[in-house]
């Protein structure tokens, strides 16, 4: 099954290090990040899960619930958690889903046979409070993800959802943003006083608070 932007995120029930997860119930009006890793007890994955755990305050600040997943059983997850804490300096503080039957992996098209025949690649899905898919990214197994970039993207998604703006190339929180073409000039004057018209289709304003 191919997941596209704007699709409803498929629901599922799975065991995890935090108990059974009913995905749609778990989201419950929050933003969510679902990300897969190829296998437990592997080096790149160990660094990734430690980094996600270390960013807990950043996820919380944005109202984001994070879930990891691999096709390994829950017993392996629990054993591996000790290694993650020991080597990365942060204990797991988010659910790690077990998917030994590959049910969730198939729902979210996380297995790419040309890359890894039976294991999940490094898939990332950002899901909004409306349970729709807002972002998908797929990395090969050899490339560790940049979770600072993922936080930046979530900041942009949340800002756009509230204010009818888009973010330009290399945008960072606090930088200027672009007014959506759907907003008329008349409306823009009321909503974004002092905005700058670079071209009729390119109107720049300070980031709304």
3-state helix, strand, coil in the chain (%, to 5): 30, 25, 45
Q: Which of 84-88, 107-111, 115-119, 128-132 has the lowest mean pLDDT?
A: 115-119
Residue 208 per-residue DSSP state: P
**Burial letters 28-43, b for 16+ CB under 10 A, else e:** eeebbbbbbbbbbebe
Domains of the chain: 13-145 (3.40.30.10), 164-205 (3.30.1020.10)
Q: Which of 9, 21, 27, 45 is labelled catalytic?
A: 45
The rounded distance, in Å, linking the Cα atoms of 14 and 22 is 7
Strands 196-199, 202-205: pairing is antiparallel
Which DSSP letter does residue 9 get? P
H/E run at residue 28: none
Location of structure tokens 């160990």: 46
Strands 31-36, 64-70: pairing is parallel
| pLDDT at site 20 | 96
Residue 45 known to be catalytic: yes
Q: What is the pLDDT of residues 139-162, one digit of tens each?
A: 888 899 999 999 999 999 999 999
Q: What is the pLDDT of residues 31-87, one digit of tens each?
A: 999 999 988 999 999 999 999 999 999 999 999 999 999 889 999 999 999 999 999
Residue 72's Cβ-side half-sphere holds a number of Cα atoms within 13 Å equal to 21
Q: Which two tokens stand for residue 48?
A: 């990734």
CA distances from 9 to 22, 66, 107, 128 (A): 13, 14, 9, 9
Query: What is d(CA 33, CA 205) in angstroms, rounded to the nearest whole number?
Result: 29
For the ranges 20-29, 60-69, 106-115, which has the lowest average pLDDT?
A: 106-115
What is the pTM (predicted TM-score) of this model? 0.91
């Amino acid at each position: 099954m191919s997941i596209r932007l704007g699709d409803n995120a498929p629901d599922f029930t799975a065991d995890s290090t935090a108990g059974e997860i009913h995905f749609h119930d778990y989201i419950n009006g929050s933003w969510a990040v679902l990300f897969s890793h190829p296998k437990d007890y592997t080096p790149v994955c160990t660094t990734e899960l430690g980094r996600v755990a270390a960013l807990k305050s950043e996820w919380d600040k944005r109202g984001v619930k994070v879930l990891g997943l691999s096709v390994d059983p829950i017993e392996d997850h629990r054993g591996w958690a000790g290694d993650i804490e020991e080597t990365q300096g942060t204990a797991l503080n988010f659910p790690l889903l077990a998917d030994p039957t590959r049910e969730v992996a198939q729902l979210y098209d996380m297995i790419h046979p040309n890359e890894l025949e039976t294991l999940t690649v490094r898939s990332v899905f950002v899901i909004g409070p409306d349970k729709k898919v807002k972002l998908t990214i797929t990395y090969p197994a050899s490339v560790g993800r940049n979770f600072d970039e993922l936080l930046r993207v979530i900041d942009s998604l949340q800002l756009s959802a509230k204010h009818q703006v888009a973010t330009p190339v290399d945008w960072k929180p606090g930088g200027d943003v672009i007014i959506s073409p759907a907003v008329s000039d008349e409306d823009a004057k009321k909503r974004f006083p002092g905005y700058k018209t670079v071209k009729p289709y390119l109107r720049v304003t300070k980031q709304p608070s």
